[in-house]
Amino acid sequence: MEPVSNLHGTDSKLVKQEEQRQDLGFGTKLNDTYSRLINKDGSFNINRVNEPLRDRINLYNRLITMDWVHFLSWILLFYLAENVVFACIYLLAGAENLKGADDRIFHGSFWKAFFFSAQTLTTVGYGHIAPNSFLTSAIAAFESMLGLLAFALSTGLLYGRFSRPVAHIRFSKHAVFAPYLDVNGWMFRIINARSNQLIDVQVEVSMSRLETKPDGTVHRKYYGLKLERSKVSFFPTNWTVVHPITDDSPLHGCTPDNLAESDAEFLILLRAMDDTFAQVVHSRYSYRYDEVLWGQKFRSMTDGNQAGMATVDLNKLDITDPAPLN
Amino acid sequence: MEPVSNLHGTDSKLVKQEEQRQDLGFGTKLNDTYSRLINKDGSFNINRVNEPLRDRINLYNRLITMDWVHFLSWILLFYLAENVVFACIYLLAGAENLKGADDRIFHGSFWKAFFFSAQTLTTVGYGHIAPNSFLTSAIAAFESMLGLLAFALSTGLLYGRFSRPVAHIRFSKHAVFAPYLDVNGWMFRIINARSNQLIDVQVEVSMSRLETKPDGTVHRKYYGLKLERSKVSFFPTNWTVVHPITDDSPLHGCTPDNLAESDAEFLILLRAMDDTFAQVVHSRYSYRYDEVLWGQKFRSMTDGNQAGMATVDLNKLDITDPAPLN
Amino acid sequence: MEPVSNLHGTDSKLVKQEEQRQDLGFGTKLNDTYSRLINKDGSFNINRVNEPLRDRINLYNRLITMDWVHFLSWILLFYLAENVVFACIYLLAGAENLKGADDRIFHGSFWKAFFFSAQTLTTVGYGHIAPNSFLTSAIAAFESMLGLLAFALSTGLLYGRFSRPVAHIRFSKHAVFAPYLDVNGWMFRIINARSNQLIDVQVEVSMSRLETKPDGTVHRKYYGLKLERSKVSFFPTNWTVVHPITDDSPLHGCTPDNLAESDAEFLILLRAMDDTFAQVVHSRYSYRYDEVLWGQKFRSMTDGNQAGMATVDLNKLDITDPAPLN
Amino acid sequence: MEPVSNLHGTDSKLVKQEEQRQDLGFGTKLNDTYSRLINKDGSFNINRVNEPLRDRINLYNRLITMDWVHFLSWILLFYLAENVVFACIYLLAGAENLKGADDRIFHGSFWKAFFFSAQTLTTVGYGHIAPNSFLTSAIAAFESMLGLLAFALSTGLLYGRFSRPVAHIRFSKHAVFAPYLDVNGWMFRIINARSNQLIDVQVEVSMSRLETKPDGTVHRKYYGLKLERSKVSFFPTNWTVVHPITDDSPLHGCTPDNLAESDAEFLILLRAMDDTFAQVVHSRYSYRYDEVLWGQKFRSMTDGNQAGMATVDLNKLDITDPAPLN
């Protein structure tokens, strides 16, 4: 290693500029106009190659996050497969060593071994079929231990699935440009889809768009959008999140064509505290330029009070009415 | 989409005003005077319609938060129902295929099938009744797996119920207007009802009241109330939370009639850290104008030290004594 | 409710003073000199009376925090009691309805019923004793369900006990007044007693002492002590926490007699993040005036590096050497 | 205790200097040049002596953090050992009291007792071997309870292992000195090895090096390195963490020889929020002077978009290209 005499620092303006640039973690090189950054389900539109198999499968995570139909199918499949494997092992060890009930009533010795395996794995152990040799006893002792562990695992998985903190936030189908006080605003609307309470709900909105540098290269820039209100303590009704388009807004003077040309995408990160489990929950969402309506405002979701209670109608989340922009 | 040439931003005063307005997340449209915002149990007084069935039921949440009597009744009911269903299935598959003990001693074949089902579901499997055909064996194999999963679920539910972070904060029945130093203060008193320790206890108090705009429309406004002390590190005794009514307080110059007319409600959000499980716990509470006493102060809950220990008497939480206001 | 015309706010100096006063949550009325505020095990020296039985027992908390010998004894006792109760029920339902093995080999029908109960509760169900009537079958079906729930509960309790976040911080037996740079400092020393890592360790130190007001009444005051360093990112070795006694320290000019007369107590609250489980852990401790040494400094716990590794000797935690104060 | 009249505070400059000094928690005495502070696996290179046995073993922690092969081996070993112990106990209580199947088919009474123990411990309880005396029944009742507890423990351990929050961050093999804008920068690169999302990723970098005081003594000093960007909201692709070497950087004017002489080590602490479980995860890493390349920059890991998706190639994490320093 030769000494690097020219390694020097300067009070660089470029460094200071760079420090002020916002980056959400996507980098500046995602400058393709044909894809979005965040998908509608909150996942990122990034393809990872050469990821090790184990990390790609990420078994526990998948079992926790897959839907219930798939999950229960996997459990059932695994149970059947385990019993088939052990049935074969018992047959190899000699079906005659499973004493008790007659083979014929189970449609042959394979099924007898299969049911014996099931009775061992679940530790139900009726005993009308029982291991009658050293070898089958040893296999059964091992299988019942395995059954306990599998059961322990299922317990953990079921608890993990249920107790996992998830925010069921519904976002309005479109964001809108609507009049806001004496200016205009970019807005979207959210509501808690579940009846459990969320508190300390915080929203961060960024806009990503392609910009052309003086030298003609295209790169992606990110802007944080200042919100009328970025946090509410309680969230029992709907919340219309508003970015007022004042002079210092990056959306100032923007037109629908601008948005489309620059492949604009509005990225939303929501954090809240689930009141039931005191867990932090997150939700991601994004609106692309073609999911933003111009000159529309949201219709109120709150009805007049009925029976001494304010009423919120969840079906009205997406309804907008025309409203001329200021 | 036509270009919106008139979309412009201005350095709007209204926007800045709006940014300073406080909103707890209820919005300004809840201007009915006949209902409160937060109920005494901490839930919100909001009616949600058109909520999807699944979200309204919110099964796991309910099973976690319902009281123990209901919870155990559901468990028992589910156990009975499951056994009745499987008893019927075994009868359809042929009761004669459950070999072993005589039907008559169980009062008929239904109950024999019922008890066999119970023995299978719980995996106790005595074996004096045992499946004696392919079909009943297969059903039993499935049922015992189901039993394991149900058990796994119960384990998760029980653990979830016990480990759920809940703050058992008792709030004084009334809030009071009492003299405070050389001014007056709005006060309420809290104590930890449980013997486990809470640390870093934080309290936020807001007042909501109806106000009439110059144009005669009534809308709901929210004010954060500044507290003498909004956080304590330890919470071993009681804590009287005080909002001093200084010149800048929204309660300055307020009378009982004012409060009643404006449908005033004091909203309290408490956050703390449970010392045993290091979990964040929350508590919500509210005092309406008719739950506030004027010219009363709280009597000390701390007795003289007995046996070298300070003594706090929980029964004194609600006791107040008359105290002329400054 | 008559209007309170004299309810007015003023720009009160007293209110501002009060806002700056520190209170850890003990209040000012604990002015007995014979007791400490925080016990050596971190609990508070407060006696609570009229606490409802359920809150005082706080069953789950106790089962989680009691030591292992007690916990396992309770489990065993509960298991025995449950079996005795069910044995009696089976006897009432008729011991002759438990078919199978001869009573005499179990030393009578009570023990036969007892063992049958144990085999049912644990779902082991050998079947050499089996319920042979409707009534005993029903009781057994109920008992095995109960067994599953008890098991589910034990699983939760065991997991709760193990996964509970606890900081095993050892505090030096004495705090010391020692020379520190060109002044003196009040110091104590801590080390992580466990081999798992703690990160982001934060320490808060307060002093509580009795002070006499001009009118002669004695009240307890609290002072936050400013630390040389109140947070470290890593905590692999020992940490000597230092409060430098500069001019603005409440300990400035203080003598051992002062400390004793004012019943001084140093209260410590430690927060850290357990690296293994990413849980926040807390530790409380206190030094009373008679646990503080004057003119002693801590001897280094770090040995010269051995085998390429720095060495920390946990046995040296409490060792101090005389050091003349500045 | 004599009064210490010379205990006085002064407005000490030394105290203020000390307050500004950074210390990560290692102290200044680790001045050996032959070892690193943080090992490549994130553990600390500190040897602890006289740690109590229980704290050193830290059983639960070990069972949670050991790899799966070891964990399952321990489970199996424990299961075998428990059965051997109980088999011996049953033999002592008289093998003839285990009624049922003939000894000879199990290769002698030890194995019969062993398999009976296994069937009891797992609560499978076929019943073809059954306790036939008071003593063996009592032992079996105890063993089956023990089995349930062991199972409960395994459930907890398995859940604890799976749900433990771990960040699988891959750090580039080398850090580099590379040109950065119009100056140079010290950089390393990280990527999330798993497919689950991390959000709010924060990085702290410190440099530790030996410095010689005017009096010739060598001590270790720590410097926080200011980063171009210390936090990103999302982390779907790679992140090159950059410390720009401006005038105020402690690396300003530094040469490879300097770094080596002063035993420089770069310490990295990463905090993030796991999106699936909403848990905080940590990762520690360190680069020593000989793991830093001079005049190399990282090659982009992002490929041109394929099929409408940006592509990140994890295999390129460590690849650097020569780049002359500014």
pLDDT for the residue numbered A30: 64
**3-class SS letters over B118-169:** HHHHCCCCCCCEEECCHHHHHHHHHHHHHHHHHHHHHHHHHHHHHHCCCCCE
Q: How confident is the model at residue B285 (pLDDT cuts 50, 70, 90)?
A: very high
CA C137 to CA C115: how far, in whole Å?
A: 15
Q: Tell me the mean pLDDT in the region D287-304.
A: 89
Give B-chain residues touching A162 at CB under 8 angstroms.
60, 156-157, 160
pLDDT for the residue numbered D31: 60
Domain end (from C163, C182, C208)? C163
More confident of the two residues A56 and D159? D159
- On the question of pLDDT at D184 being above 80, the answer is yes
- On the question of pLDDT at C132 being above 90, the answer is no
- On the question of pLDDT at B3 being above 50, the answer is no
Q: How confident is the model over D238-252, as pLDDT tens digits? A: 899 999 999 889 999
Give chain B's mean pLDDT: 85
ipTM over 0.90: no
Q: Tell me the mean pLDDT in the region B261-289.
A: 89
- On the question of pLDDT at A6 being above 50, the answer is no
- Closest chain B C-alpha to D152 CA, distance in angstroms: 10
pLDDT for the residue numbered B1: 37
pLDDT for the residue numbered A2: 38
Work out the percent of chain A whose per-residue pLDDT is above 90: 42
Work out the percent of chain B whose per-residue pLDDT is above 70: 92
- On the question of pLDDT at B45 being above 60, the answer is yes
Give C-chain residues touching B253 at CB under 8 angstroms.
7-9
Q: Indicate whether D103 and D187 sit together in one domain.
A: no
- Closest chain D C-alpha to B61 CA, distance in angstroms: 17
pLDDT for the residue numbered B87: 94
Contact state of B10 with A182 under an 8 Å Cβ cutoff: yes
For tokens 């002077």, name the residue.
D289
Contact state of C309 with D45 under an 8 Å Cβ cutoff: yes
Of A76, A196, A232, the CB nearest to B24: A232
Q: Tell me the mean pLDDT in the region C197-216.
A: 88
- Closest chain C C-alpha to B2 CA, distance in angstroms: 53
Q: Tell me the mean pLDDT in the region D29-47.
A: 75
Of D111, D128, D253, the CB nearest to A130: D128
Q: Which chains lie within 8 Å of chain C at 3 or more CB pairs, if any?
A: A, B, D
Contact state of C127 with B125 under an 8 Å Cβ cutoff: yes
Of B123, B127, B155, the CB nearest to D127: B127
Q: Indicate whether A146 and A190 sit together in one domain.
A: no
Q: How confident is the model at residue D308 (pLDDT cuts 50, 70, 90)?
A: low
Q: Tell me the mean pLDDT in the region B120-148.
A: 91
* Domain contains B38: no
- On the question of pLDDT at A199 being above 80, the answer is yes
Of B123, B183, B276, the CB nearest to C9: B183
Domain end (from B129, B163, B197)? B163
Contact state of B126 with D126 under an 8 Å Cβ cutoff: no
* Domain contains C293: yes
- DSSP labels for A48-116? EES--HHHHH-HHHHHHHS-HHHHHHHHHHHHHHHHHHHHHHHHHTTGGGEEES-GGGGTSHHHHHHHH
More confident of the two residues D105 and A231? A231
CB C230 within 8 A of CB C203: yes
- On the question of pLDDT at B146 being above 50, the answer is yes
Q: How confident is the model at residue C15 (pLDDT cuts 50, 70, 90)?
A: confident
- On the question of pLDDT at C5 being above 60, the answer is no
Q: Indicate whether B125 and B264 sit together in one domain.
A: no
Contact state of A127 with C123 under an 8 Å Cβ cutoff: no
- On the question of pLDDT at C7 being above 50, the answer is no
Its pTM stands at 0.85
Q: Indicate whether A184 and A296 sit together in one domain.
A: yes
- On the question of pLDDT at C180 being above 80, the answer is yes
* Domain contains D49: no
Helix (H, G, I), strand (E, B) or coil at A144: helix
Q: Indicate whether A90 and A179 sit together in one domain.
A: no
pLDDT for the residue numbered D172: 96
* Domain contains A48: no
Quick count: other Cβ atoms within 10 Å of Cβ A171?
Answer: 20
Q: Indicate whether B177 and B249 sit together in one domain.
A: yes
Work out the percent of chain D whose per-residue pLDDT is above 70: 91
- On the question of pLDDT at A288 being above 70, the answer is yes
- Closest chain C C-alpha to B117 CA, distance in angstroms: 9
pLDDT for the residue numbered D286: 93
- Round to the nearest angstrom and report the end-to-end CA distance of chain A: 64
Q: Indicate whether C209 and C111 sit together in one domain.
A: no
- On the question of pLDDT at A119 being above 70, the answer is yes
Q: Indicate whether C175 and C156 sit together in one domain.
A: no
- Closest chain A C-alpha to B155 CA, distance in angstroms: 7
Give D-chain residues touching B125 at CB under 8 angstroms.
125
Q: Tell me the mean pLDDT in the region B177-204.
A: 90
CATH number of the domain that residue D94 is part of? 1.10.287.70
Q: Nearest chain C Cα to D99, which residue?
A: C128
Q: What share of chain C is helix, strand, coil (3-state, %, to 5)?
A: 35, 30, 35
Q: Which chains lie within 8 Å of chain A at 3 or more CB pairs, if any?
A: B, C, D
Contact state of B127 with D123 under an 8 Å Cβ cutoff: no
Contact state of D11 with C247 under an 8 Å Cβ cutoff: yes
Q: Nearest chain A Cα to C120, which residue?
A: A124
Domain end (from B163, B183, B205)? B163
Q: Indicate whether B159 and B233 sit together in one domain.
A: no
CATH number of the domain that residue A315 is part of? 2.60.40.1400
Q: Indicate whether D114 and D174 sit together in one domain.
A: no
pLDDT for the residue numbered A203: 94
Lowest mean pLDDT among A68-82, A285-299, B50-64, B107-121: B50-64
Contact state of D162 with A60 under an 8 Å Cβ cutoff: yes
Q: How confident is the model at residue B9 (pLDDT cuts 50, 70, 90)?
A: very low
Q: How confident is the model at residue A32 (pLDDT cuts 50, 70, 90)?
A: low
- Give how many domains chain A has, as a whole number: 2
Give chain C's mean pLDDT: 85
- Closest chain C C-alpha to D4 CA, distance in angstroms: 6
Q: Tell me the mean pLDDT in the region C297-306.
A: 78
Contact state of B306 with C47 under an 8 Å Cβ cutoff: yes
- Closest chain A C-alpha to B160 CA, distance in angstroms: 8
CA A201 to CA A276: how far, in whole Å?
A: 15
CB D199 within 8 A of CB D272: yes
* Domain contains A47: no
pLDDT for the residue numbered A7: 42
Tokens of B186: 């709005």
- C-alpha distances out from residue B317 to A113, B238, D51, Å: 68, 8, 47
Contact state of B276 with C147 under an 8 Å Cβ cutoff: no
Q: How confident is the model at residue A89 (pLDDT cuts 50, 70, 90)?
A: very high
Q: Which helix (H) or strand (E) holds D184?
A: strand D183-192
Q: How confident is the model over C229-244, as pLDDT tens digits? A: 888 888 888 899 999 9
CA B9 to CA B222: how far, in whole Å?
A: 28
Contact state of C46 with B154 under an 8 Å Cβ cutoff: no
- On the question of pLDDT at A102 being above 80, the answer is no
**Ramachandran category for residue D27: left, alpha or beta (phi over 0 → left; psi -120 to 50 → alpha):** left
Q: How confident is the model at residue B155 (pLDDT cuts 50, 70, 90)?
A: confident
pLDDT for the residue numbered A28: 67
Q: Tell me the mean pLDDT in the region B178-188.
A: 92
Residue-number span of the structural domain to which A209 is assigned? 169-322
Give chain A's mean pLDDT: 85
- What is the rounded (10 degree) CA torsion for A38, A40, A45, A48? 120
Q: How confident is the model over C249-295, as pLDDT tens digits? A: 999 988 999 899 888 999 999 999 888 778 888 899 999 999 999 99
Of B168, B278, B305, the CB nearest to C281: B278
Q: Indicate whether D151 and D223 sit together in one domain.
A: no
* Domain contains C30: no
Of B184, B247, B307, the CB nearest to C11: B247
Q: How confident is the model at residue B308 (pLDDT cuts 50, 70, 90)?
A: low
CA C131 to CA C137: how far, in whole Å?
A: 5
- Closest chain C C-alpha to D317 CA, distance in angstroms: 26
* Domain contains D196: yes
Contact state of B107 with C149 under an 8 Å Cβ cutoff: no
Of C105, C183, C294, the CB nearest to D4: C294
pLDDT for the residue numbered B32: 65
Of D1, D12, D51, the CB nearest to C294: D1
**Ramachandran category for residue B270: left, alpha or beta (phi over 0 → left; psi -120 to 50 → alpha):** beta
- On the question of pLDDT at A29 being above 80, the answer is no
Q: Nearest chain C Cα to A128, which residue?
A: C127
Of C123, C127, C155, the CB nearest to A127: C127
Give A-chain residues touching B63 at CB under 8 angstroms.
none
- Burial class (CB within 10 angstroms; exposed 0-12, middle 13-18, buried 19+) of D308: exposed
* Domain contains B56: no
Q: Indicate whether D315 and D173 sit together in one domain.
A: yes
More confident of the two residues D166 and D25? D166
Helix (H, G, I), strand (E, B) or coil at C76: helix
Q: How confident is the model at residue B29 (pLDDT cuts 50, 70, 90)?
A: low
- DSSP labels for D70-132? HHHHHHHHHHHHHHHHHHHHHHHTTGGGEEES-GGGGTSHHHHHHHHHHHHHTT---SSEEE-
- On the question of pLDDT at C172 being above 70, the answer is yes
pLDDT for the residue numbered B113: 92
Closest CA relative to residue B287, chosen from B205, B214, B191: B205
Give C-chain residues touching D138 at CB under 8 angstroms.
115
Q: Nearest chain C Cα to D49, which residue?
A: C313
Side chain identity, residue B304 = G
Q: How confident is the model at residue C104 (pLDDT cuts 50, 70, 90)?
A: confident
Q: How confident is the model at residue A9 (pLDDT cuts 50, 70, 90)?
A: very low
